[in-house]
Amino acid sequence: MPAISIDLPKTKHGYEVRAEEVFWVAQGILRSTDLRDSEDEQCIADTIACLIGQDLIDRSKAALDSIYDISNSEYTRMETAFDLYGGEKIFEEFKYCLGEVESVCASGGNTKLRDLLFRDKTTNPFPSVFVVIFIAIFECGIRQKKKISDYAGLKSALAGINTRIQAGQKGASRQERRTNIDVVKGIISKFFVDHPEIDKFIYSNHKSVDIEADVRRSEIELANYELKQGILPLSKENNADVKPMLDKLLRTICAIANNGPKSSGKIIIGVADKEPDVKKISDIYGVSGKIIGKRTVVGINREAHRLEISIEKYVQMIVEYIKNSQISAHTKSAVLSHLDYNNYFDLGILVITIPPQKELTYLGEDLYRRVGSSNELASSTKEIVALGVRFV
């Protein structure tokens, strides 16, 4: 429980999830104490109900209660709408839009969403205004199959938007909410453009929310996750020898694949888990990174720049190394079809997913296994048999 519980600023119990790092509190949408009262869940329920139904709902406790009251017609209407829309679909779309909101706030330097939307300084939560902004971005983007083309411009357009819309009780009815959403859409729509591969961004790629969840899980599921700051040595000298790190990458793929037929894992390149590495990267590249729990995202775009190649060629270099390796064919094929790059706040993250395998994975003639967060060569007969038993 401590690993998934939330630590509030004034009542620290040593829990892993710090309230101030949670999206809702980090952006000022809710107070940290609101998380304890599940107001983040209410905000999500309100937003999704507005997105999947034929119409918005009133922003009120009564409206939300009716959705969960099995004897109420709203329950039946919303359950039908949810089944027709698809739970997985709205889940992916919601995460994508959260990432877009974060990207807007981070453009040109981090700005808390609350400080962006409100001209006058305030510490008040603003879930009702957030839902309006979120739905406006959703409808301009996902509904119209468009992608934000100018994050900085959209950020500037949203500055002080609270003066243009009705908030609180004045903007609580479905009609008033629709008016507010349309006002915001009119202001931001010019910053969206048609994108032929928009579905790839929404439904396929690791989104920023997924990456942050994986980085946090890596602190607990050591055997299934591996974080790498990059593939270049951490040296100020212009050392472009990537072979040692890529060889280690191959061993890690094989070791995670040998965790068992019901176990998957991920290697995330662009994340540092040691403070000395973060300091070296800052000194060498001038990158401060983005802190997620006990880890720091330092990205791989910096390495592509140092190698004087595009990020596409950087990723392709890793792909080719895996493709030409002696990893067992079944695992190699599965891994190569599960590589995702995410620009992640202009830092760049590469996620290599190792799906569950039905048989042992070799690297040439060698077998590797995970022991905590380390890779070990299975050298004794006992160790090799133990690995084999996992797949029987």
Average pLDDT estimate for 270-291: 94
Its sign, for the CA torsion 85, 87, 89, 94, is positive
User: Angle at the Cα of 184 (from 182 to 185), degrees rounded to 5?
Assistant: 60
Residue of higher predicted confidence among 11 and 111: 111
Report the mean per-residue pLDDT for the chain. Answer: 92
Pairing relationship of beta strands 6-7 and 290-292 according to DSSP bridges = unpaired
How far is the CA of 378 from the CAs of 27, 215, 329, 331, 382, in angstroms? 47, 27, 20, 18, 9
Pairing relationship of beta strands 265-269 and 295-297 according to DSSP bridges = unpaired
Give percent above pLDDT 70 in the chain.
96
Residue 194: the pLDDT is: 95
pLDDT in tens, 30-56: 999 999 889 999 999 999 999 998 889
> Does residue 288 carry a pLDDT above 90?
no
Closest listed residue to residue 57, CA positions, set 177, 161, 137, 139: 177
Least confident of 166-170, 232-236, 262-266, 342-346: 166-170
Residue 206: the pLDDT is: 84
Pairing relationship of beta strands 225-228 and 265-269 according to DSSP bridges = parallel
The confidence band for 192, taking pLDDT boundaries of 50, 70 and 90, is very high
Average pLDDT estimate for 321-334: 97
Residue 172: the pLDDT is: 87
Fold of 222-389: 3.30.950
How far is the CA of 238 from the CAs of 22, 242, 287, 365, in angstroms? 38, 12, 17, 34
φ, ψ for residue 187 (rounded to 5)?
Answer: -80, -35
pLDDT in tens, 117-130: 998 989 999 999 99
Residue 169: the pLDDT is: 74
| DSSP 8-state class, residue 200 | I
The confidence band for 141, taking pLDDT boundaries of 50, 70 and 90, is very high
Residue corresponding to tokens 């990174």: 289
Identify the bridge partners of residue 290 per DSSP, sorted by sequence position: 297
Spatial separation of the C-alpha atoms in residues 277 and 203, rounded to whole Å:
33
Spatial separation of the C-alpha atoms in residues 156 and 142, rounded to whole Å:
21
Spatial separation of the C-alpha atoms in residues 121 and 124, rounded to whole Å:
9
φ, ψ for residue 174 (rounded to 5)?
Answer: -60, -35
Closest listed residue to residue 261, CA positions, set 330, 352, 326: 330
Residue 4: the pLDDT is: 43
Q: Where are the domains of the chain?
A: 38-204, 222-389
